[in-house]
Chains A and B, each alone.
Chain A
Amino acid sequence: MGKLKNYLIRTVSAIVLTTVVLSSELETVIFADAPYETYSYDWWGEDIKQPAAYTYSGAYSLTDTPLNDARDMFVQDGKIYIADTGNSRIVILNEDGTVFKIITSFQNGGTEDTFSGPQGLFVTPENEIYVADSKNGRIIHLDASGTLIREIARPETDLISQNQAYTPLKLVVDKSGRIYVIANGINMGLVEFDREGVFQGFMGAAKVSVSTFEYIWKNYFSTDAQKERMELIVPTEYSNIYLDSDNFIYATISNISNEDHLAGADAIRRLNPTGTDILRRLGNTPIIGDLYNASDTAAWSKFTDVCACDYGVYFVLDSAGGKVFTYDGDGNSLFIFGGTGNRQGMLMQPASIGIREDQEKIYILDSQLNQVLCFSITEYGRHLLNAIYKNSLGDSAGAYEEWQNVLRYNANSEFAYIGIGKAYLREGRYKEAMEYFQLGNNRKYYTRAFQFYRKELMQNYFGKFMGVILVLVGALIIWQIVKKIRRWVGEAKCNI
């Protein structure tokens, strides 16, 4: 009895010990407890949870004079430039959150000049700062040290009537020095200046679409009094713009009606220098943020800002839900994270988003919290973005490896399955490629793999298959001939 008990105790303790040793040996993947969920939409349009791609890692705020209703931010070369709208100043932070410089005034023609409610800013690769000095109705061009280079005043044109206020809100400056400005109340598109600051025209106006029903209703069945009370059908204004490394402009639209949202209207555009929208929309879902609403009265995603990586992945900030929507260059939803609330790492009224050049950190400016929130990339996010990056370079072997890593974290990732399938397709492993494309729900590549697979089968087995059939048919024919001859011989015999 005692022996058995001893034996039992020993086995149990051995099992416990091995479990402890094993579990400590296992690779420990620790995710900081994020106050929000990370998810994306799959092929069926269902939201599928996934591991966090970015986690909250701290917030920067100014101690002496806090930010006040800051509206825009720009991240470049380890510096965070903030348009501190409420305090009418430009704040430049270092990457660790310490103040690098604060610009409150500048010398303009010998006198001291100040900003007035600047709502947007842009920094050129040479670190020159362009500020949309909103209430003063002008654009200020400063050099890297904060001294004035020039002032770009209200555009001189008949296209904007004299009694209409000119309030520049956001701006970008492209590589050749052209300046594009979003101005309040101007719905003809972006205001374009040439490198000398001379008004050139409007660019990239949103197309107006009126449904047939609405057109007939407005023109034939409404009284004048009704018409007056109806909303005018005008092009939508852009809410923010971002210049990517290829000199294309990402523009977000935030005031999209409920009906347009349900119809899948575009909420973001990528404009080329002629103003044509060239955003690729090849994903499974429309690029409108969240596909479903929690309730009928809940607000739809409202895009306020966007930033992009040089390999086509872009991050869109949604001010209604406090979320960041990530899409790849084809318009596939990669991951969605963030939320509104009072917990640490949640947002109140996000205004602007910026990303470090190496994608290690995302900064979000919140104009109610008066903070810059930092989100650091996780192992999973790094593998995912790396896979897309390597794929964009054409490095299929590297991408394959990264997709395998992504799958270790997230077995629901359709991109990973498709990515691995593509690698197999290139290697000529068609049957496996088909399996992976099916897991990734991609019929376009599945049929391609299947075509090759069918061809391969035909090449291998067609000869044997046809050989067997020919032999059978030949035997049948010979049998018939033999039968005929026999009958003929029999008849001949009878006739004799």
Chain B
Amino acid sequence: MQYLNSLKYSLYVITHPVDGFWDLKREKRGSLSAAATILVLVILTSIIKKQNTSFLFNFNRLDELNVVVDIVTVFLVYILWCVANWCLTSLMDGEGKMTDIMIATAYALVPIVLINLPLVPVSHVITAEEGTFYTVFTVISYLWAGMLLIFGTMVTHQYSMKKTILTMICTVVGMAIILFIGLLFFSVIQRIITFIATIYQELRFRT
């Protein structure tokens, strides 16, 4: 029941961002399980949107679609955002814990699901001339989510608006740095493994 209530509370959060995000954290109205559900819904939305949108509005190559790539992309971006945000805000006197950030970020993504999912069947009954509505609603969904992310960060960490925007820009840079280090790490590990394997091989051949 707690789970359903916290999930239902997301509808309140997206319409009353400041109040909603405050209660989400202080009153413990949100839950990690609800956040995970929202994330799964976002992944599902992106897949359904790519696969089932009408031909008129669908510019994806359906024969080259890879569901795994979609899942990993959304999940990776979400995790990267949360980690980078947490790293930065713990240095910049942010009050949010890791769980707070994860919950707030997931709740901010709800409009993407709520608007884009109904747009998929709608795309099958409108012509290209009426496509403006389709585009407008898509843009609204992303703008809304972006706005919620700003308020979410602001309320969770008790920041001013200026500091929030600055933190968010830094977070994006941080995501890039983490990605870079990660790739570097993989590359180095790969070389070390090859190095050890070569030495082993060399020793085997000598004896």
A443/B61 contact (C-beta < 8 A), A438-B55, A450-B56 known = no
Flag if B61 contacts A44 (CB, 8 Å): yes
A424 CA / B128 CA spacing, docked (Å): 20
Docked CA distance A22–B104 (Å): 70
Dominant SS at the B interface?
loop
Query: Complex formed: what's the CA distance from A446 to B55 in Å?
Result: 9
- A450→B56 CA distance, assembly (Å): 10
* Contact A443–B127 (Cβ < 8 Å): no
B166 at the interface (CB under 8 A from A): no
Complex formed: what's the CA distance from A438 to B124 in Å? 14
**Docked-complex contact A443 and B55, CB < 8 angstroms:** yes
Which residues of chain B are within 8 angstroms of A443 by Cβ–Cβ distance?
55-56, 128
Residues of B within 8 A of A450 (CB): 56, 127
Contacts of A454 in B (CB 8 A): 125, 127
Inter-subunit contact A447/B125 (CB<8 Å): no
**A residues contacting the other copy or chain, number (CB 8 A):** 9
Contact count band on B: under 10
* Closest chain A residue to B59, Cβ basis: A443
Q: How far is the CA of A265 from the CA of B3 in the complex (A)?
A: 59
- For residues 439 through 471 of chain A, which have their beta carbon under 8 Å from a beta carbon of chain B? 443-444, 446-447, 450-451, 454
Indicate whether B129 reaches chain A with its CB closer than 8 angstroms.
yes
A447 with B129: CB separation less than 8 A: yes
Distance between B25 CB and nearest chain A CB, rounded to angstroms: 45
Please name the residue on chain A nearest to B64 by beta carbon. Answer: A44
| Contact, CB under 8 Å: B127 / A451 | yes
Q: Determine how close the nearest CB of chain A comes to the CB of B60; give it in whole angstroms.
A: 11
User: How many angstroms between the C-alpha atoms of A446 and B59 in the bound complex?
Assistant: 14
Which residues of the partner chain A approach B55 to less than 8 Å between Cβ atoms?
Answer: 438, 443, 446
Contacts of A438 in B (CB 8 A): 55
A-B contact pairs, 18 of them (CB 8 A): A44-B61, A438-B55, A443-B55, A443-B56, A443-B128, A444-B128, A446-B55, A446-B56, A446-B128, A447-B56, A447-B127, A447-B128, A447-B129, A450-B56, A450-B127, A451-B127, A454-B125, A454-B127
Question: Apart from A443-B55, A447-B128, A454-B125, what are 14 other A-B pairs with CB-CB below 8 Å?
Answer: A44-B61, A438-B55, A443-B56, A443-B128, A444-B128, A446-B55, A446-B56, A446-B128, A447-B56, A447-B127, A447-B129, A450-B56, A450-B127, A454-B127
